[in-house]
Amino acid sequence: MDVPKVQPQPASRKWRLTGWLLAAVWLFFLNQPLGTALGQAEPWRKWLGVGSLVAFGVAYVLLFEWARSHRQNGRPIPRARAVVLLLGLLVLGLVGIPGTGTDWMTTLVFVATGAVFLLPGSWALVVVALAALTPLVAGYLLPSWSGVSGVFFAVLLASFAMFGVAALAQRNGELRAAQQEIGRLAVAEERARTARDLHDILGHSLTVVAIKAELAGRLVEVDPSRAATEIAEVEQLARAALADVRRTVGAYRGVRLAEEVAGARSALIAAGIAADLPADLPELPADRDQLFGWAVREGVTNVVRHSGAHRCTIRVGPDAVEISDDGRGPTSEDAATGHGLIGLRERAQRLDATVSVGRRPQGHGFVLRVGLPAGAR
């Protein structure tokens, strides 16, 4: 069975807004270079500084949101594109030097945090180290830039904080991926359940309908009254099968052992097979009663379809149910791979029961047995 693919669900509006706020909150670091740019006497320096900072801020927010979207949806961030975008941020910071002066190095805080969010750990560590050391080296080599050493601590603190934000986005993406996987598996399980139930229901009902219709065809000339009775029963079976399908689609399909034993009698007699059935049934818990009912349905269906038997025997105890016949039975391959038996085994596993299928120990015939472990309640 093909397992359906669950499309990633878009992020909620609240979370998208949160993402934008997480990106924009870092822009307060630009207040110092912005004040420097606005204080420039020469208009071209002022507007170059302000324009470069505005472009830098917008680019950073867009870059952050782009990376956050990739992380949240479980998509890998293209490394080459991330490096190019970070270099673009650095260039925008450098362009503003005539207007922002030494305060341009505040933009290194954003380059470092962007690297933490976009790049693998070792790459990000290199970028953070270079961004942190740049103001120290510049202050040592250029005495006029000695006042920017505070950027060193800003880079380290902001990078550490961004590491937490990146981890949060990563975990959120993993959580959404896990939820989608759970949803995918739930859909697959529901499809398997529906397919199993429809096979069990229609396989049995249509087998009996076919046998009764064939019997009615043979009797229509020699015993019209009994042929009419068989046709009426075919109609009842068809209506019951339709009701079963509707209940299955509605997800509340169930069987009862007593009903299945009664239906087995009718199906076996119609197929010309002598039915040796229990006169009384033990009181069973609801889940065990249902499991044994499915076992009787599957076993009798196989007897009618494949066995060529003359006699079928059903035995029901508190801990086991057994359906046997004196025919040739299905092949071992059919017994192992049949859809009905696969479904029966799946149901049995829920109660820790075992399903055994094979030849009878003595003589000809086949036996299907479903048993619970000793002491099970």
Tens digit of each residue's pLDDT (9 = 90 or more) over 99-112: 888 888 888 888 88
Domains held by the chain: number = 2
Q: What is the pLDDT of residue 60?
A: 87
Alpha helices, DSSP H only, in the chain?
13-24, 31-38, 43-72, 79-95, 97-100, 107-118, 121-141, 150-222, 224-249, 257-270, 286-302, 332-337, 339-349
The CATH code of the domain that includes 324 is 3.30.565.10
At residue 5, the pLDDT reads 46
Torsion angle in degrees (nearest 10) through CA of 291, 297, 303, 305: -130
For residue 357, give its domain range. Answer: 261-377
Asked if residue 273 and residue 139 are part of one domain, the reply reads: no
- B/e letters for 119-133, b = 16+ CB within 10 Å, e = fewer, are beeebbeebbeebbe
Residues 28 and 144 in one domain: yes
pLDDT of residue 231: 83
Residue 354's pLDDT is: 92
Model confidence at 371, pLDDT cuts 50, 70, 90, reads: very high
Cα atoms in the Cβ-side hemisphere of radius 13 Å centred on 281: 20
| Least confident window among 108-112, 165-169, 220-224 | 165-169
Does the residue 225 lie in any domain?
no
On whether both 167 and 37 belong to a single domain, the answer is yes
User: Which of the listed residues 182, 212, 227 is the one where a domain comes to its end?
Assistant: 182
Render 25-70 in DSSP notation, one character per residue.
Answer: GGGGGGHHHHHHHHT-SSHHHHHHHHHHHHHHHHHHHHHHHHHHHH
Give the pLDDT of residue 25.
67
Last residue of a domain, one of 157, 182, 207: 182
d(CA 217, CA 227): 7
What pLDDT, on the 0 to 100 scale, is given for residue 308? Answer: 81
Q: Is residue 275 part of a domain?
A: yes
The percent of residues in the chain predicted with pLDDT above 90, rounded, is 9
Strands in 274-276's sheet, in edge-to-edge order, are 274-276, 311-316, 320-325, 366-371, 354-359
What is the distance between the alpha carbons of residues 196 and 177, in angstroms, rounded to a whole number? Answer: 28
* Global pTM value: 0.45
